Amino acid sequence: MKSCEIEVKKSRFVAYAFELKNVDEVKANLEFLRKQHKKASHVCYAYVCNINGVSEKCSDDGEPSGTAGYPILNVIKKKNLSNILVAVVRYFGGIKLGAGGLTRAYTKAASEVLN
């Protein structure tokens, strides 16, 4: 597991990257993050797994549709990675970022954790 943190207008975005041995590990890793970050507003994620066939999924976890999960998935695909889960935990800082701001923040957090 690798992690990094960024701050955008008082909101904290903590990004994690997990290597996957199978798709079943996704649920366990997300449960681990939700236990570690009980006060977080959102745990958004995306994964690509090529073990036993291609599987990919993304989730906005309550953020406006298309502003979190899909941008994270795009970062994974642009870097041609597979067998990886990237999750970004958001702590709301009180300032709304708007759809564009959210997309940029989740993209930046995912990019930084994968660099």
CATH for 80? 3.30.230.30
Higher pLDDT among residues 24 and 109, named by residue: 109
Give the integer Cα–Cα distance in Å for 11 and 40: 10
51, pLDDT greater than 90: no
pTM of the model: 0.94
**Domain span at 99:** 2-114
82, pLDDT greater than 90: yes
How is residue 71 written in tokens? 């941008």
Give the integer Cα–Cα distance in Å for 74 and 71: 5
- Please answer whether residues 63 and 25 qualify as being in contact, where contact means their C-beta atoms are separated by less than 8 angstroms: no
pLDDT recorded at residue 15: 98
**Domains in the chain, number:** 1
- Range 69-104 burial, b when 16+ CB lie within 10 A, else e: bbbbbbbbeeeebbbbbbbbbbbeeeeebeeeebbe
pLDDT recorded at residue 7: 96
pLDDT recorded at residue 93: 94
Share of residues in the chain with pLDDT > 90 (%):
91
Q: Percentage helix, strand, coil, to 5, in the chain? A: 35, 30, 35
